[in-house]
Amino acid sequence: MKLKLAKTAGFCMGVRRAVEIVLDTANRQQGPIYTYGPLIHNPQVLEILAEKGVTVIEDVSGAKSGSVVIRAHGAPPQAMQALVDAGLTIINATCPRVIKVQTIISKYARQGYACVIVGDKDHPEVMGLLGYAEGMGYVISHPDDLDKLPSLERAIVVAQTTQDGRLFNRIAKTMAERFPHFKVFNTICDSTLKRQAEVREMAKAVDAVVVVGGRNSGNTQRLAQAVEQEGVPAFHVESEAELDCQAIEPLRSIGITAGASTPNWVIKKVFRTIEALPHQAKGRWRLMLFRIQRWLLLSNLYLAMGAGCLSYTCALLSGIKPGFAPALMASCYVLSMHILNNFIGREAVRYNDPDRASFYDNNRLILLAIAVISGTVGLFMAFAMGSVPFLIVLIISLLGLFYKVKIIPGRLKIGKKIQRISDVPGSKTVLIALAWGVVTVVLPHLSVTLQITTTMIFVSLWASAMAFVRTAFFDILDMQGDRIVGQESLPIVLGEKKTFRILKLLLVIFLAALIFAPMMHLATTLAYGMILSVFYMSKVLMAFERHWVVPGFRFEFLVETLFVFTAMVTGLWQLLA
């Protein structure tokens, strides 16, 4: 079965911004927090906000004090003034594109123009827009409604930002014939237009389209309608539980799209459920292979294998003899820490990777046993390598274990809220990368000589940089869940675009460094081979940014193959040498 995920699926800029504003406010601010109406039309997100103590109010009587967030749809200015008069602090999360429409209406209303809004009269955005029309606003939703308009001398026409593009064009055309003096502004948001255009294109190339999103979300309903208008079946689901697997499984190609208010983790759950369907149908062996691959990935065994591979490569890159003990120690340390990390950070995993979360719930005992055994074996191997490596592994393991534990008492807290290592913004990404550099390069090196060399520093920086790119990349994928639980990962602190730029810059720096390293005696000539691993990771980033691959189970496997790939290149390099 071919799966196609729409590039435009999920939160649009405005909804994403509003959700981020509310979550950041809830994570940082004390005191009551309200949203003026439900933040978005998505039951799962509303449930999370309720869990975080964010209350929905419909009017000013619902709140006495605190902050009230104006959702992406905006609100009438009169309602906002009433909130201020009631002593509430306004946090305006109105989408900038909606503000643009409000500004147009307001500007022309001051000049005496009436305003005709093409949209749903009960939609909160339309109700907000009407507030700017100074009592001269009219809402129409069909060309026939034009007959109901009073005679207007001067008027402008705008659209609800999520309005269907074809319908608006039809109304605008009729309007131009009947009321040529009206000024028409096509204010449909390009995010909506792109989403609708993409789903229509997608529908032409697949057997059916699964549309994910809240039942009462207007833009999600319109996506399903657009699919049906193309003569293709549309399955509108709110979650994976509503999937009609019997109807979907025999299909050869499925498209998946989602409304502007559907969070990533809901899309991910639906994608993963459909992704697993053909394996169940293709016989025992195929299913077994799929399950083994899934087990290796979700349990982090595949990643641990990668750590062993990286240790082997780094030894050759540093010019020391690769050994079984250092590779096993690196694998065991990585396995133990990453499994424990999934348990410690299970709240975020629940949102970022629901499949992984249920895997950890279902295999709790066996995974905890693997973590304890691998941690012990790792320490034992470090001990076999010498007292210094043992001490270092012990320290970094304890750091990992106490990552989320309060180590600074409440009254001594540093700055605003730093009491745990995890409270330091971006600490997770940096510490994981450093730990990888230590276990794969520094410790094997120290087991041979206690001298710190420039080669050791260079190779450990390279290994840390590759681990950093891998971890930060997953942090980018996990931004929504991290934000929900208040985890300030690097992309949340710096922003997605800036983080991407840093990752690319890092890859470019190491690309250049690997070219010159052998000449400067910083690494063996294997460094030339390692240029391929930098290319590998660059391709992964590029594939994600350009939507060449769908971020599902296979894509994650591809990312985790990075370190296995380094060992493959090393093996080939040795053969050729």
Residues of this chain that interact with ligand SF4 (CB under 6 A) are: 12-15, 72, 95, 97-98, 161-162, 189, 191-192, 260
Among positive and negative, which fits the CA dihedral 160, 161, 164, 166? positive
- Find out whether 211 and 224 touch, Cβ atoms under 8 Å: yes
Backbone Cα Rg of the chain? 28
- Find out whether 316 and 524 touch, Cβ atoms under 8 Å: yes
| Residue among 58, 125, 275, 556 flagged as catalytic | 125
User: What is the DSSP code (8-state) at residue 133?
Assistant: T
Instruction: Kindly tell me which of 218 and 486 has the beta carbon lying closer to ligand SF4.
Output: 218
Angstrom distance (rounded) from CA 404 to CA 419: 9
Q: How far is the CB of 432 from ligand SF4 (least distance, A)?
A: 34
Instruction: Kindly tell me which of 139 and 530 has the beta carbon lying closer to ligand SF4.
Output: 139
Q: How far is the CB of 45 from ligand SF4 (least distance, A)?
A: 14
Name residues whose C-beta falls within 8 Å of residue 443's C-beta, 6 or more positions apart in sequence: 326, 329, 330, 382, 385, 389, 392, 393
Q: How far is the CB of 192 from ligand SF4 (least distance, A)?
A: 5
Angstrom distance (rounded) from CA 213 to CA 572: 48
Q: How far is the CB of 336 from ligand SF4 (least distance, A)?
A: 43
Angstrom distance (rounded) from CA 279 to CA 370: 27
Q: How far is the CB of 70 from ligand SF4 (least distance, A)?
A: 12
CA-closest candidate to residue 359, choices 336, 343, 375, 373: 343
On the 0-12 / 13-18 / 19+ scale of CB atoms within 10 A, 85 is exposed
- Please compute, for residue 517, the number of CA atoms within 13 A of its CA located in the half-sphere on the CB side: 28
Instruction: Kindly tell me which of 40 and 439 has the beta carbon lying closer to ligand SF4.
Output: 40
- Find out whether 441 and 460 touch, Cβ atoms under 8 Å: yes
CA-closest candidate to residue 267, choices 191, 206, 210, 207: 210
Tokens standing for residue 445? 């090196």
Burial letters 16-31, b for 16+ CB under 10 A, else e: bbbbbbbbebbeeeee
Q: How far is the CB of 172 from ligand SF4 (least distance, A)?
A: 18
Instruction: Kindly tell me which of 14 and 306 has the beta carbon lying closer to ligand SF4.
Output: 14
Instruction: Kindly tell me which of 164 and 560 has the beta carbon lying closer to ligand SF4.
Output: 164
Instruction: Kindly tell me which of 18 and 63 has the beta carbon lying closer to ligand SF4.
Output: 18
Instruction: Kindly tell me which of 80 and 349 has the beta carbon lying closer to ligand SF4.
Output: 80
Q: How far is the CB of 214 from ligand SF4 (least distance, A)?
A: 14
Active site residue 58: no
Backbone angles phi, psi at 38, to 5 degrees: -60, 135
Instruction: Kindly tell me which of 192 and 447 has the beta carbon lying closer to ligand SF4.
Output: 192
Q: How far is the CB of 97 from ligand SF4 (least distance, A)?
A: 4
Q: How far is the CB of 361 from ligand SF4 (least distance, A)?
A: 34
Identify residue 54 by its one-letter amino acid code. Answer: V
How far from the centroid of its chain's Cα atoms is residue 252's Cα? 28
Instruction: Kindly tell me which of 186 and 453 has the beta carbon lying closer to ligand SF4.
Output: 186
Residue with tokens 């003899």: 321
Residue with smallest beta-carbon separation from ligand SF4: 14
Angstrom distance (rounded) from CA 6 to CA 488: 28
Residue with tokens 């595949």: 302
Name residues whose C-beta falls within 8 Å of residue 335's C-beta, 6 or more positions apart in sequence: 300, 301, 303, 304, 307, 370, 371, 374
**Beta pairing, strands 2-5 & 253-258:** parallel
Instruction: Cite the active site residues.
Output: 125
